[in-house]
Amino acid sequence: MPRPAIGRQALTAALLVLASRPASAEPLPGGFVRLRELAPAIAQDMRYATPFNFTGAAVPGYGRGECVLTRIAADALIRVEKRLARQGYGLKLFDCYRPARAVAAFIDWVKRPGAPNLGRIFHPGIAKGDLVARGYIAGNSSHSRGSTVDVGLVPAGAATVPTPVDAGPCDGPSATRPHETELDLGTSFDCFSEKSALGHPGVSNEARRNRALLATAMSAEGFRGYGKEWWHFTLAKEPFPTMPFDFAVE
């Protein structure tokens, strides 16, 4: 009996998954998945695997720009994407699971004189040495538990916007801050500024609408937001609520 033909869409999706997985990738701990293998269409720009982040260099633990999450968080995020698609929007991931060594590297970066620094973009007007005291950098991160994401909003079907290489201040005018999406969200991702707060009155009406749209969709699928950062969400019923991990993203 001849085997049934494989549908073109199914074959294409399978090839995308195989192409996205590094040949030398180590198996993930139990309960974790690579989001790209489940939902290759969700946009990713894993910023800490690149030099374009507040430290000015790729961050230890990010050997590859890949969104890794607990399976339950990945499934919830896929439901968010489907919910937004019905409204003409989609997600763009900037960070997912964060190795504990990366969190430690942030603290070391604050203390290290002469370290690379893109402060003119990511923390304009705030000295690097003040970032911990002002709550922008912490010694522990929910990202290390695998069910927290930093995520933005894009128009459904929009062309991929590459990782920026330079820009003006992250809380400046939309036309000059880092270009991440065609939508105005008030600031760029990882902007250490009061304007990053979800309900800040100093951003445009469009930005407030887009932030609310993202927050509503994430909340509907079980994520809790963080009031000081419009992009930061943690799954309320995370499977490892007290356990940070430190495996590398490969």
Instruction: State the catalytic residues.
Output: 229
- Residues contacting residue 106 through CB under 8 Å, at least 6 positions apart: 55, 59, 137
Cα→Cα distances 250→20, 22, 81, Å: 11, 7, 24
- Work out the angle at residue 186's Cα, subtended by the Cα atoms of residues 124 and 165, and round it to the nearest 5 degrees: 55
Tokens of residue 113, six digits: 């004189």
Cα→Cα distances 68→38, 94, 145, 245, Å: 11, 11, 11, 12
Q: How far apart are CA 170 and CA 158, in angstroms?
A: 22
Distance of CA 224 to the CA centre of its chain: 15
Of 105, 80, 98, give the one whose Cα is nearest residue 90. Answer: 80
Burial class (CB in 10 A: 0-12, 13-18, 19+), 45: buried
- Residues contacting residue 180 through CB under 8 Å, at least 6 positions apart: 45, 92, 94, 152, 161, 164, 188, 189
